[in-house]
Structure 1
Amino acid sequence: MKKIPLSKYLEEHGTQAALAAALGVNQSAISQMVRAGRSIEITLYDDGRIEANEIRPIPARPKRTAA
């Protein structure tokens, strides 16, 4: 099992379209992840499976204050 950042995966392994097909999402979703600078980690398993996870702080959103 190997974990690498999304941007590095795209540099080394191919296109956004190929990754999107492997993950079962649209290419536009991958493009949005890249443009937004989201912290996405790609996991490459020894059996060939690919998985993507977003690394986010907890809590991910700041608390709302009463107006």
Structure 2
Amino acid sequence: MKTIPLTEYLDDKHGTQAELAEKLGVNQSAISQMVRAKRNIQLTIHDDGRIEANEVRPVPARPKSGDRAA
């Protein structure tokens, strides 16, 4: 089992966005949006070939209305 960033997976020619989308059970457009939005998606590639995707986000993910820097 190993974990790599989404962009590294695609850059290292492990597969296309469409192939990854099929393995994750999502549409190719969802993968494209993840890449364009520069989301911190980590892929876990299991020894049996299964792939899981998880997004790493701070908690809380959104700042409170009064906490935004001007």
TM range (shorter): over 0.9
Match of 2:43 in 1: 42
SS in 1 for 2:29: helix
Match of 1:20 in 2: 21
- Give me the TM-score of the superposition, normalised by structure 2: 0.89
Unaligned runs of 5+ in 2: none
- The alignment yields a C-alpha RMSD, in angstroms, of 0.8
1:11 CA drift (Å): 1.5
Bigger share in helix: 1
- Give me the TM-score of the superposition, normalised by structure 1: 0.92
SS in 2 for 1:8: helix
Runs of at least 4 residues of structure 1 off by over 2 A? none
Identity percentage of aligned residues: 72
Unaligned runs of 5+ in 1: none
**What pairs with 1:45-64 in structure 2 (closer than 5 Å)?**
45-64=46-65
